[in-house]
Amino acid sequence: MVRVPDGEVTIEGKKHEVKDLYFGETEVAWELFDVWALRLDLTQEQQVVGVDAESRPSKPYSVIFTNFGHHGYPAICMSFLNAQGFCEWLSKKTGRHYRLPTEWEWDYACQEEKGVLPGRDESSWHWENGEDVTHPVGKKAPNALGLKDMFRNVAEWCVGRNDERVVKGGSWKTKAADLVFGIREVESPKWNEADPQIPKSKWWLANGQFVGMRLVCDRPGKMEQR
């Protein structure tokens, strides 16, 4: 986690304060998300009796991850509900308060880009160089705060204006020319239209290979910047 300097950002004429906030250096990678999603923190006995069966995601059908990397790669295809559940679980495990960033917090962290242009190959995985897949986290140049992959690889869940469910930053599907500050996309049913289940999964997005997440921590306790 990287400590973000205190300050404020103006979005659509409204000022928002950012204070005492830590941002994830990269997107959440699979090796961490798997512990939550696959119940790897539970004993075999606990898994058999169904501990947390209702509060954790059902197993996704594997086809949605075909041809996408795993260890060291960003976790993808999780719904907004899934992402929030992961934050709640991690908070309970650590005693710190992890959550999804608000849209203005995400934009504030990007104000510090200072010359690192979103669409440049040295700082971005985008349509022209991404080869239609995700890439290992943290392999491109960081911004001035030390945050990596803010404008590339996977779009990141945020709590948007008026509590909208939005993703920020574009992804490997976004053309370089479209990777601009403020880029956002509101959640769409199209992100899960290929799900063959009835009803469709509330945990996983069948067409969401471009969707991931990054966490913030606003009550770090004894956390030290890494």
The mean pLDDT of 175-184, rounded to a whole number, is 79
The band of 74, judged by pLDDT with boundaries at 50, 70 and 90, is: very high
Give this prediction's pTM.
0.88
pLDDT the model gives residue 213:
97
CB 126 within 8 A of CB 179: yes
Q: Which helix (H) or strand (E) holds 17?
A: strand 14-18
Tokens coding 105: 């917090």
Tokens coding 9: 């950002």
Nearest to 181 by CA among 104, 123, 102, 111: 111
| Bigger pLDDT: 207 vs 13 | 207
CB 184 within 8 A of CB 125: no
Q: State pLDDT tens for residues 122-146.
A: 666 766 776 778 889 988 788 888 8
pLDDT the model gives residue 123:
60
pLDDT the model gives residue 165:
97
Ordered structural domains, the chain, with CATH? 2-219 (3.90.1580.10)
Measured from the Cβ of residue 94, the count of other Cβ atoms closer than 10 Å reads 13
Give the HSE-up count for residue 117: Cα atoms under 13 Å, Cβ half-sphere. 6
Tokens coding 99: 């959550």
CA 147 to chain centre: 13
CB 192 within 8 A of CB 205: yes
